[in-house]
Structure 1
């Protein structure tokens, strides 16, 4: 688990209840809000897309356990506090 002090200015932390703004893989017609709890912060292990040499399958920072039981991943701009 990453050092929480390194990112203490982030409003979202492990345990935060969040709304997932964009969930890759969901059908475009799926308009229901996806709400869950942040279970892991991978800030220290996320690699910049330019370093990967590709633009597909980007590494995403947050792991979120949705209320419906699914586990999804999102970038910083893909979440807001619930």
Structure 2
């Protein structure tokens, strides 16, 4: 029996250079993608918002250290390889 998750090739991982794509719900004034390095993957901590009973303050999967020194968090769809 094989674990299909172990065979999946994810281009984004800790240490990857990525572009963080600004979203409409972002609290930042950034309108352009920001570049940085993934420093942590919180995949095991992500909880479906419906399980929380609220839709605010969602748990985001990725922590990214931007090249300008800021630390930001992004969901799966908010990153692309740089």
TM-score range, shorter chain: 0.7 to 0.9
1:26 aligns with 2:28: yes
8 Å contact from structure 2 (residues 22, 32) kept in 1: no
Distance verdict in 2 for CA 1:18–1:56, change over 3 Å: same
Distance in 2, Cα, partners of 1:6 & 1:62: 19
* Structure of larger gyration radius: 2
**Aligned positions, number:** 76
TM-score (norm 2): 0.82
TM-score (norm 1): 0.82
Q: What residue is the counterpart of 2:73 in the other structure?
A: 73
Distance in 2, Cα, partners of 1:71 & 1:60: 13
Q: Which runs of 5 or more residues in structure 2 are unaligned?
A: none
Q: Which runs of 5 or more residues in structure 1 are unaligned?
A: none
Cα deviation, residue 79, structure 1: 0.2
Structural RMSD (CA): 1.8
